Chain A
Amino acid sequence: MFGPGFWRVGRMMNQLSEVQNLQREMNRLFSGFTQPFSHEFPPINVWLSKDDAVVSAEVPGIDTGELDISVVADTITISGSRDKDELKEGESYHRQERSYGNFTRTLQVPFQVDAGRVEAKYDKGILRITLPRSEAAKPKKVTVRSE
């Protein structure tokens, strides 16, 4: 879920220790040829402004018909699936590193979303969803009066 201070986790991903990288690599090697999506797929970024939030996700090679986005109050769910290339008889993999299968991500933004004005675009394998703030959730300016 999404909350204050949590974004640091994403920023620190590149500084994982060698041991963890090795462990991950070992897991990959012993997991066999095919690997379904890890539960953190697709990776997402969240951008905030005073009017809306933009959620972008790297989901290459997906049919837009296979993507399902739903918004309830302040929670957005992205789900979909990516099919594996079906090999014909006599064809064989040299390498198989890409993942396939079903995925679901749920994310909470820090305001109520105007669900009727949500827009989603899919371009070059990147999904971008704009979540406008509902009128009630827009920042209000408070003026301070001196007495």
Chain B
Amino acid sequence: MADEKRELQKKEAQSSVETERTKSRRVYVPKVDIYEAKDAIVLVADMPGVDEKSVDITLDKNILTIAGTVEPEAYKDHSITYSEYDTGDYERAFTISDEVDRNKIEASVKQGVLRVTLPKVEPVKAKKIAIKTG
């Protein structure tokens, strides 16, 4: 019974009818930290098995989607005898606010951790209107 109480390390994504995938692979929701700094919002996601070539970040309207593909794990002449995790793709989407500068979003992947920096738009400077003497 004790084993059933273990924390799930990976949470499987809820599949919705509208977006069924053509590949019958598991999809996981990566765990993320999101923090707000003075000039940017930073998103950090744990996506073990993903590198810079296998991760996709898309911004459509105000929805930021992060997706990563992971090759299934297999070793020649080996058979799996004990398993605590399963490999699959990752997918998660967030709505972002208008204060993010869409053209300056940066992302990097290091050791299976994705880091996306969403810089904030510079505040519009107050414009002084000169008054002409008539």
Using a CB–CB cutoff of 8 Å, the interface residues on chain A facing chain B are: 2, 6-7, 9-11, 13-14, 16, 20, 24, 38, 40-51, 54, 56, 58-62, 85, 87-88, 90-99, 122, 124-126
> Which chain A residue lies CB-closest to B2?
A9
Cβ–Cβ contact B80 & A125, under 8 A:
no
Residues on B with C-beta less than 8 A from A38 are 6-7
A90 to chain B, nearest CB (A): 6
Cβ–Cβ contact B111 & A85, under 8 A:
no
Stretch of B39-47, B57-65, B99-107, B121-129 on the interface side: B39-47
Provide the bound-state CA to CA distance between A47 and B73, in Å. Answer: 10
Cβ–Cβ contact B44 & A98, under 8 A:
yes
Cβ–Cβ contact A40 & B6, under 8 A:
yes
A100 to chain B, nearest CB (A): 9
> Which chain A residue lies CB-closest to B77?
A49
> Which chain B residue lies CB-closest to A84?
B33
Residues on A with C-beta less than 8 A from B3 are 9
Using a CB–CB cutoff of 8 Å, the interface residues on chain B facing chain A are: 3-10, 12, 31-38, 41, 44, 46-51, 73, 75, 77-86, 110-113
Contact of B35 among A42, A49, A85 (CB under 8 A): A85
Cβ–Cβ contact A124 & B33, under 8 A:
no
B76 to chain A, nearest CB (A): 8
Residues on B with C-beta less than 8 A from A16 are 4, 8
Residues on A with C-beta less than 8 A from B84 are 10, 13, 40, 43-45
B78 to chain A, nearest CB (A): 4
Cβ–Cβ contact A125 & B33, under 8 A:
no
Residues A13 and B48 in contact in the complex (CB < 8 Å), given A54-B78, A94-B35: no
B66 to chain A, nearest CB (A): 13
Q: A45-B83, A91-B36 are in contact. List 14 more A-B contacts (CB 8 A).
A: A10-B84, A10-B85, A11-B83, A14-B86, A38-B6, A38-B7, A40-B6, A43-B10, A45-B80, A45-B85, A58-B49, A61-B112, A126-B48, A126-B112
Residues on B with C-beta less than 8 A from A40 are 6-7, 9, 84
Provide the bound-state CA to CA distance between A118 and B113, in Å. Answer: 26
Residues on B with C-beta less than 8 A from A97 are 31-33
Residues on A with C-beta less than 8 A from B10 are 43, 58
Residues on B with C-beta less than 8 A from A14 are 12, 86
B100 to chain A, nearest CB (A): 13
Contact of B46 among A6, A60, A85 (CB under 8 A): A60
